[in-house]
Amino acid sequence: MNLQDSSSMLMNQMIMFYNNAMIIIFLITFMVGGMMISLMKKYNYNRSLYEGHELEFIWTLLPTFVMFFIALPSFQMLYSLEETSSPSLTLKTIGNQWFWTYEYSDYKNIEFNSYMIPTNELSMNKFRVLDVDNRIVLPYNHFIRMLITANDVLHSWTIPSLGVKLDAMPGRLNQMSFFINRPGLFFGQCSEICGANHSFMPIVLESTSLKTYSKWIIKMLT
Could you say which of 32, 47, 82 is where a domain stops? Answer: 82
- Quick one: 112 and 208 in the same domain? yes
Q: Are 138 and 147 in contact (CB under 8 A)?
A: no
Cα angle 52, 58, 63; round to 5: 135
On whether residue 16 sits in a domain, the answer given is yes
User: What pLDDT is stored for residue 48 in this prediction?
Assistant: 54
- Give the chain's end-to-end CA distance (angstroms, integer): 47
pLDDT at 176: 87
Asked which of 82, 103, 134 is the last residue of a domain, the reply is 82
The CATH number covering residue 108 comes to 2.60.40.420
- The verdict on 72 and 152 lying in the same domain is no
- The range of the structural domain enclosing residue 30 comes to 9-82
pLDDT score at 150 = 94
Best-predicted range by mean pLDDT among 13-17, 35-39, 55-59, 96-100?
Answer: 96-100
Q: Is 2 among the domain residues?
A: no
* Shared-domain flag, residues 162 and 128: yes
Cβ contact 191:184 at 8 Å: no
Whether residues 115 and 159 fall in one domain: yes
Number of domains in the chain: 2
> Of 28-32, 88-92, 137-141, which range is least confident?
28-32
The pLDDT tens digits of the residues spanning 78-131 come to 777 666 667 888 999 999 999 999 999 888 888 999 999 988 888 878 888 889
Task: Check whether residue 20 and residue 105 sit in a common domain.
Answer: no
3 part of a folded domain? no
Residue 69 lies in a domain: yes
pLDDT, one tens digit per residue, over 41-70 is 666 555 555 566 777 777 788 888 888 888
Model pLDDT, residue 136: 93
Residue 4 forms part of a structural domain: no
